[in-house]
């Protein structure tokens, strides 16, 4: 199958997902959550595969989003519909958890800033590159209670530590609780 045909089919499948999700959202009284094809993106990879690299960027705040992806390949109409159903539930849960997730992100960012300042005070050359939310599978966000669902949304901390010779060393930490940040940062500091 040529690349152009595969991309056309991919765009058609995204449009099918959008239609299913939006119909379910509107029928459920969530008109404010409708999505568009432009909300989807492909995760960067060396060999793009629309069936496995698809994710929806759900914006929580001005500088915060969570990417929601299918847990399985979208290589059949049944799996496409299953992902659309999961995505609908996930969007409702994420919307209900919006304030909670923003506070969680702020707490992790504040803890990361404290840990970086502490490490600098000990002589380490460390830089906080980014605090974000890790990509989450739609299936994991389908619980009936939003608090259970968003327990699967984890923060990530991207650090850059300069080694003795001035070479940067990147570290990507996954953080469950803000109180874990200092310990996790300490674990990546060179001896």
Report the chain's C-alpha Rg in angstroms.
19
The count of structural domains within the chain is: 2
Tokens encoding 157: 């901390």
91 and 139 share one domain: no
Domain of residue 16, residue span: 3-98
> What are the backbone dihedrals phi and psi of residue 173, each rounded to the nearest 5 degrees, phi first?
-105, 140
How far is 159 from 127, CA to CA, in rounded Å? 6
Point out the domain boundary residue: 55, 83, 98: 98
Who has greater pLDDT, 168 or 116?
Answer: 116
Of 98, 121, 152, the one marking the end of a domain is: 98
Please check whether residues 51 and 30 belong to one and the same domain: yes
Q: What is the pLDDT of residue 87?
A: 97
Q: Are residues 7 and 64 in the same domain?
A: yes
This prediction's pTM: 0.89
pLDDT at 48: 56
Output the pLDDT for position 46. Answer: 46
Same domain, 155 and 176: yes
DSSP states along 22-70: HHHHHHTT-GGG---GGGEEEPP-SS--HHHHEEEEEEEETTEEEEEE-
Q: Based on the fold, state whether residues 86 and 121 are members of the same structural domain.
A: no
Predicted confidence (pLDDT) at residue 165 exceeds the cutoff of 90? no
Per-residue pLDDT, 54: 83
Last residue of a domain, one of 51, 74, 98: 98
* Contact yes or no for 147/103 (Cβ under 8 A): no
Q: Could you report the per-residue pLDDT of 19-73, keeping only the tens digit for each?
A: 999 999 999 999 999 999 999 987 766 455 555 678 999 999 999 999 999 988 7
Q: Does one domain contain both 106 and 89?
A: no
Give strand pairing partners of 62: none
Calculate the alpha carbon distances from 43 to 38, 50, 80, 106, 139 in Å: 14, 9, 18, 25, 18
**Tell me, what's the pLDDT at 6?**
56
Same-domain status, 12 and 92: yes
Alpha-carbon gap, residue 80 to 172, rounded angstroms: 31
Same domain flag for 78 and 113: no
pLDDT at 16: 93
171 and 90 within one domain: no
Sequence-ordered list of residues with C-beta below 8 angstroms from that of 64, at least 6 positions apart, any chain: 101, 102, 105, 132, 133
Note whether 7 and 91 are same-domain residues: yes
Considering the domain architecture, whether residues 184 and 108 belong to the same structural domain is answered as: yes
Q: Is the domain of 78 the same as that of 129? A: no
Q: Is the pLDDT of residue 182 over 80?
A: yes
Q: For residues 161 and 91, is the Cβ–Cβ distance under 8 A?
A: no
């Amino acid at each position: 199958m040529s690349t152009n045909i595969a991309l056309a089919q991919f765009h058609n499948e995204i449009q099918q997902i959008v239609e299913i999700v939006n119909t379910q959202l509107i029928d459920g009284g969530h008109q404010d959550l409708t999505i568009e094809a432009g909300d989807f993106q492909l995760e960067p990879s060396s060999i793009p595969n629309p069936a496995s690299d698809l994710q929806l960027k759900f914006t929580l705040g001005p500088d915060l989003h969570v990417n929601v992806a299918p847990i399985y390949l979208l290589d059949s109409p049944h799996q496409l519909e299953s992902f659309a159903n999961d995505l609908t539930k996930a969007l409702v849960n994420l919307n209900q958890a919006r304030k909670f997730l923003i506070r969680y992100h702020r707490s992790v960012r504040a803890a990361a800033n404290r840990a970086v300042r502490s490490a600098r005070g000990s002589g380490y050359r460390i830089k906080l590159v980014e605090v974000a939310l890790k990509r989450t599978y739609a299936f994991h966000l389908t619980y009936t209670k939003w608090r259970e669902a968003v327990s699967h949304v984890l923060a990530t901390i991207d650090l850059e530590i300069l080694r003795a010779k001035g070479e940067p060393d990147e570290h990507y930490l996954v953080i469950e609780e803000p109180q874990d940040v200092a310990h996790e940062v300490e674990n990546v500091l060179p001896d």
